[in-house]
């Protein structure tokens, strides 16, 4: 079985927030645009007879075009989007693992550490973070 990645996402940290690059929404729009281009490419698609029979090479034989708004096409697009939605559950769970470290990423942990070290209050006055 061949396992091919259609999309590759990178995780970026910006202002203490971990996010996907490109975003999942941008990726979904890109996939939709690719599907639209594929459907549009069916216009003026030559029939196989033009390639098989040299005498028909100059004839005006084309397959019937498929329109973006046809029910069958929209059903296939919906299936593709459903597959995309089912396959982003894992990456969303993965990125949620970084929420535990948000105070480290946004600098709050550093501020809390500095405040603790500068303080003369007893240890019992500080909150415990879990």
State the residue for tokens 């809390």.
Answer: 112
pLDDT for the residue 127: 66
Q: Which two tokens stand for residue 87?
A: 């396959």
pLDDT for the residue 126: 63
Q: Is residue 18 part of a domain?
A: yes
pLDDT for the residue 94: 85
What does the alpha-carbon distance between residue 116 and residue 17 come to, in Å, rounded to a whole number? 24
Q: Is residue 52 part of a domain?
A: yes
Q: Is residue 122 part of a domain?
A: no
Q: Is residue 36 part of a domain?
A: yes
Q: Is residue 35 part of a domain?
A: yes
Q: Is residue 42 part of a domain?
A: yes
Instruction: Enumerate residues 6+ apart whose C-beta is below 8 A from 35.
Output: 76, 77, 80
CB 19 within 8 A of CB 12: yes
- Phi and psi at residue 54, to the nearest 5°: -55, -35
Number of domains present in the structure of the chain:
1
Domain range spanning residue 18? 10-100
Instruction: Enumerate residues 6+ apart whose C-beta is below 8 A from 72.
Output: 66
Within 6-101, residue ranges assigned H as helices are: 24-40, 49-52, 71-87, 89-96
Say whether 18 sits in a helix, a strand or coil.
strand
Q: Is residue 128 part of a domain?
A: no
pLDDT tens, per residue, the chain with 130 residues: 677 777 788 888 887 788 889 999 999 999 999 999 999 988 888 889 888 998 988 888 888 989 999 999 999 999 999 999 998 888 888 888 877 777 777 777 888 888 777 877 676 766 666 5
Q: Is residue 90 part of a domain?
A: yes
CB neighbourhood size of 20 (10 A):
19
> Using the 8-state DSSP alphabet, how is residue 117 labeled?
H
Q: What's the length of the chain?
A: 130
């Amino acid at each position: 079985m061949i396992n091919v990645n259609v999309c590759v996402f990178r995780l970026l940290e910006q202002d203490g927030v971990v996010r996907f690059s490109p975003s999942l929404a941008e990726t979904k729009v890109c996939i939709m645009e690719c599907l639209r281009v594929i459907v549009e490419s069916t216009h003026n698609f030559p029939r196989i007879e033009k390639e098989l029979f040299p005498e028909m090479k100059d004839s005006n034989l084309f397959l019937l075009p498929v329109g973006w708004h046809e029910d069958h096409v929209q059903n296939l697009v919906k299936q593709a989007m459903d597959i995309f939605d089912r396959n982003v559950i894992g990456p969303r769970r993965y990125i949620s693992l970084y929420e535990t470290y948000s105070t480290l990423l946004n600098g709050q942990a550093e501020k809390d550490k500095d405040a603790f070290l500068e303080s003369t209050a007893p240890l019992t006055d500080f909150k415990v973070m879990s």
